[in-house]
Structure 1
Amino acid sequence: MKEMERSSGVLMHLSSLPNQYGIGTLGKDAWEFVDFLAETNQRLWQILPVGPTGYGNSPYQSYSVFAGNLLFISLEQLVEDGLLEDDRLAQLPEMSVHQVEYDLVLQEKTLVLREAYENFKLNFDDWKEDYYTFLGEHSWWLTDYALFRALKTDNDDLCWNAWPDKLRKRDSHVIDMALLEQDDEVNYHRFVQFIFFRQWFQLKNYANSKGVLIFGDLPLYVSLDSSDVWGNPDIFELDEQGQMTRVGGVPPDYFSETGQYWGCPVFDWDRLAEREYDWWAARIHFNLRMFDLVRIDHFRGLESFWSIPASEETAINGTWVPAKGREMLRLLKTQLGDLPVVAEDLGIITPEVEALRDAFGLPGMKVLQFAFAGDETDVNLPHNYGTNFAVYTGTHDNDTTLGWLKSATKQERKSLKKYYRGSWSSMHHRLLESAWASVARIAIVPMQDLLELDGKHRMNTPGTVENNWEWRMEWKMLKKSQRDFLAELTRKYNRVVNVQ
């Protein structure tokens, strides 16, 4: 990656933004969050994947790696655009401002978007130029996705591998007939994506005008129940019936004694090579248009991956299998030049993974919560960093820093006190400050850590499916002293970027 200026930012997903409509959106609160970042000298707004989610609401299990999540569409913006009546939002039920109520939000938002779609059709002449431009840019993935969603609804929401054979195997005549029969439903899903991307790029352009870059997240794997796998079954390890033969995950580690069994298909890297990595290339190009910088989640899976027999119940009995990420990244570098990519290289990392990361000049990651269980040689301790890293107090998979401090082991507490030599009550701020003071080129703080919130506010607990991805911020949580602290820290440690 082209050397990025010394800078800093905040990690907070769109779903966590404040508003009264049950989930964060691309609307005015997102724009106000950009203002907050600009006012506190932050260069980066890091978010999680923005695709449409299914069971468990995980942004890392999406129906498409290209589509946007309808839950993030701003209904207020639809009113301003004339696609909803002025009083429509007043008819919505009261929703929590403390956590995302996914089922209720999806139910209500779908009803409202269906109404907006009908109004869109009635006033199509006002929209057709922008709409047809959008279709021209996106039909290469959008037609498959829209049909996938229509057929999924028509088949009792079953995974595509449980559909009738000719649909499952994408018989061309049957697919053409389905597009005709499902025409209105397919067009509804096209409309939703048109609105999502319209609002997305309005927000991104505003952020960029304020000197704020959007830092996106690209999961290595995709969900079996997705238009991506339905449309490209040959690049995944599946049997003739579309069932997974091997699944992805990680072996036992810091997060779980039984590892993580992700339940998503692994890639057939030989077939990807035969296709000259076309699917991956399209994905990277697409994401680098959407975002200014992209994190590849589970980067080590591009060097080798933990492959688990699909019949297993845990990740313990997997094996490491070599991947062909070097060839794929080499191809992308010839197409793009420098790759604005950060490698999520946490967990069991080998010299081969580090060599792959360094061969393409990609920044790796350091997490302070991992730094105090060992001795002074621990690679996550600030004095051991190189410059080409992004340092975090914690990630979306960690407890908040306050929560972690409360549950720290005796060894960690001893190491923390020795390292920072301050009172325990100031430890939270000292951790954050040491991230900003480090030589790592990028420093990121999760919003919960800036707000000094405890473990009740963590975003995700790996290996569990309940009560994740629900945390939401309220503006009243953000104190002036916290704004000032972040702004001053960024000045003090030379992370202010002068944007022309």
Structure 2
Amino acid sequence: MLDIGWENYKLTHTELMENEFKNFCKNEDWWLIDFALYCLLKKQYHQDAWNKWPDEYKYREPKALDELSRNHIDEIEKIKWQQFIFNRQWLALKRYCNHLGIKVLGDLPFYISYDSADVWANPDIFELDSSLNMINVCGVPPDYFNEDGQRWGMPIYDWDKLKQNNYNWWVKRIQKNLIWYDVLRLDHFRAFAAYWSIPAEESTARNGKWVKGPGDDLFKVLSLNFPDMPFVAEDLGEIDEPVHTLANKYHLPGMKVLQFAFGEDVADSPHINHHHSQNSFAYTGTHDNNTILGWYRHDADKTSIKNLKKYTGIKKINENNIGNIMIRQAFSSVSDTVIIPLQDWLGLDEKARMNTPATEADNWTWQLTSDQMIAIPYKHMRKFATLFGRA
């Protein structure tokens, strides 16, 4: 469809559309040119990673890139046009949502894939050696769930180099995201305070170490550029006091996930309702959790179900009412914002799970069907929103 659209554009576009496209290319040239060249070279070298390309492209020799640009003008314009069309359509959708009073919550991954236009175009802001190979990679240390930890394998930032440029790359990245979204969730927020650095040659995360992150130094810059600080801190996992201190200093809402609330530490859990704060987002589960029904069937142990019964005063909890019970808990939270996955509103089981962390198969494939769209319980949503003052 994009191929057809590009050919139609070249044959029939209006002057207004052409000017709009030219303005987009001009305004976005700080990333768009490198992205287009990266896509072209990926195709030319059969999707090989950029560090496998011939040296003149791997090391971005200006003469080679200039010649490449001159010899592939149409292909490069097409890649830029595709980005222009996506941007144009997305912003139209966002305007429509905003007109209806709907805000769009985006998600900003902390790390960048090694084989990406970002790393290829900006190797100096990552921990790479003289051959542009990764020195250290990211992940998280061993814990109760993963005895080897998690080795994610993306490159670590060179924060000293980023600081020299006043964190310009991060500022531009966030500025771009805040054009697309109203609020931005900062994934793996704890890495701003300290991150787990693993030698690249290690096959697991066991032999990594904690390294101090940019912390307050970066957020001073962000607060100057984004005075409203429209961010949500993804503060899940093993969180220490410096992480809380950083989030609280800039009044960033954290996340409360009810699936984590009813274990042996129910009385003291930060995820249980009586420990929620107004400046937070409450979830039945996030995209990394099972659905509520799937959680009840497979993940919740006897202690969790026992504590849930005690906490709610409901003696009979089963597959038919677990979703409604957990959604009611979320709505009754004092958290300013409550997020309920559609899978939970629809009472779907583990087959509708969005993502299972530390696995690669069958993630991010769930899609809402037209029949499910019709089955969304709008009246029930409205009733809860009204009852709990969230209308």
CA distance in 2: counterparts of 1:260 and 1:411, whole angstroms: 27
- The secondary structure found in structure 2 opposite 1:307 is strand
CA distance in 2: counterparts of 1:215 and 1:260, whole angstroms: 27
- The one-letter code matched in structure 1 to 2:317 is W
Does residue 287 of structure 2 align to residue 396 of structure 1? yes
- The secondary structure found in structure 2 opposite 1:321 is strand
* Aligned position for 1:194: 84
Q: Taking structure 1 as reference, are residues 378 and 305 closer, same or farther at Cα in structure 2, changes over 3 Å only?
A: same
Contact 1:235–1:271, Cα closer than 8 Å, also in 2: yes
* Aligned position for 1:113: 2
Which of 270, 282, 285 aligns to 1:379? It is: 270
1:168 shift after superposition: 1.1
* Aligned position for 1:292: 182
1:240 shift after superposition: 1.6
CA distance in 1: counterparts of 2:145 and 2:9, whole angstroms: 47
- The one-letter code matched in structure 2 to 1:181 is N
- The one-letter code matched in structure 2 to 1:406 is R
CA distance in 2: counterparts of 1:301 and 1:406, whole angstroms: 33
1:475 shift after superposition: 2.8
Contact 1:255–1:462, Cα closer than 8 Å, also in 2: no
* Aligned position for 1:258: 148
Contact 1:451–1:477, Cα closer than 8 Å, also in 2: yes
1:115 shift after superposition: 2.0
1:175 shift after superposition: 1.5
Contact 2:292–2:322, Cα closer than 8 Å, also in 1: no
1:400 shift after superposition: 0.6
1:76-475 correspondence runs (5 A): 112-126=1-15, 127-253=17-143, 256-375=146-265, 376-407=267-298, 408-422=300-314, 423-425=316-318, 426-475=321-370
- The secondary structure found in structure 2 opposite 1:248 is strand
Taking structure 2 as the reference length, what is the TM-score of the superposition? 0.95
CA distance in 2: counterparts of 1:122 and 1:128, whole angstroms: 12
- The one-letter code matched in structure 1 to 2:211 is V
CA distance in 2: counterparts of 1:448 and 1:259, whole angstroms: 29
- The one-letter code matched in structure 2 to 1:431 is M
CA distance in 1: counterparts of 2:282 and 2:355, whole angstroms: 19
User: 1:30-76: CA deviations, max 9, x gaps?
Assistant: xxxxxxxxxxxxxxxxxxxxxxxxxxxxxxxxxxxxxxxxxxxxxxx
User: 1:86-118: CA deviations, max 9, x gaps?
Assistant: xxxxxxxxxxxxxxxxxxxxxxxxxx2112211
- The one-letter code matched in structure 2 to 1:186 is I
- The secondary structure found in structure 1 opposite 2:281 is strand
User: 1:307-351: CA deviations, max 9, x gaps?
Assistant: 111112222221110111321111121122121000000001000
CA distance in 2: counterparts of 1:340 and 1:256, whole angstroms: 33
CA distance in 1: counterparts of 2:168 and 2:23, whole angstroms: 24
- The secondary structure found in structure 2 opposite 1:216 is strand
CA distance in 2: counterparts of 1:264 and 1:158, whole angstroms: 17
* Aligned position for 1:29: none
CA distance in 2: counterparts of 1:122 and 1:480, whole angstroms: 43
Contact 1:420–1:427, Cα closer than 8 Å, also in 2: no
- The secondary structure found in structure 2 opposite 1:424 is coil
CA distance in 1: counterparts of 2:375 and 2:167, whole angstroms: 49
Taking structure 1 as the reference length, what is the TM-score of the superposition? 0.75
User: 1:267-319: CA deviations, max 9, x gaps?
Assistant: 11111111110100101111111110000000111111011111122222211
- The secondary structure found in structure 1 opposite 2:377 is helix
- The one-letter code matched in structure 2 to 1:424 is I
CA distance in 2: counterparts of 1:335 and 1:213, whole angstroms: 21
CA distance in 2: counterparts of 1:125 and 1:476, whole angstroms: 39
Does residue 382 of structure 2 align to residue 491 of structure 1? no
Q: Choose 151-160 or 192-201, whichever is displaced more.
A: 151-160
Gap regions ≥5 residues in structure 2: none
1:481 shift after superposition: 7.2
Contact 1:253–1:347, Cα closer than 8 Å, also in 2: no
- The secondary structure found in structure 1 opposite 2:210 is strand
- The one-letter code matched in structure 2 to 1:310 is A
Q: Taking structure 1 as reference, are residues 119 and 257 closer, same or farther at Cα in structure 2, changes over 3 Å only?
A: same
Does residue 338 of structure 2 align to residue 477 of structure 1? no
1:480 shift after superposition: 5.6
Q: Taking structure 1 as reference, are residues 481 and 225 closer, same or farther at Cα in structure 2, changes over 3 Å only?
A: closer
Aligned pair count reads 385
- The one-letter code matched in structure 2 to 1:117 is W
| RMSD of aligned alpha carbons | 1.4
CA distance in 2: counterparts of 1:257 and 1:122, whole angstroms: 59
- The secondary structure found in structure 2 opposite 1:469 is coil
User: 1:376-424: CA deviations, max 9, x gaps?
Assistant: 1111101111111101111111111110011211111211111112121
Answer 1 or 2: higher relative contact order, Cα 8 Å, separation at least 6.
Answer: 1
1:477 shift after superposition: 2.0
Contact 1:303–1:356, Cα closer than 8 Å, also in 2: yes
Q: Taking structure 1 as reference, are residues 330 and 476 closer, same or farther at Cα in structure 2, changes over 3 Å only?
A: same
CA distance in 2: counterparts of 1:404 and 1:346, whole angstroms: 18
Q: Taking structure 1 as reference, are residues 335 and 345 closer, same or farther at Cα in structure 2, changes over 3 Å only?
A: same
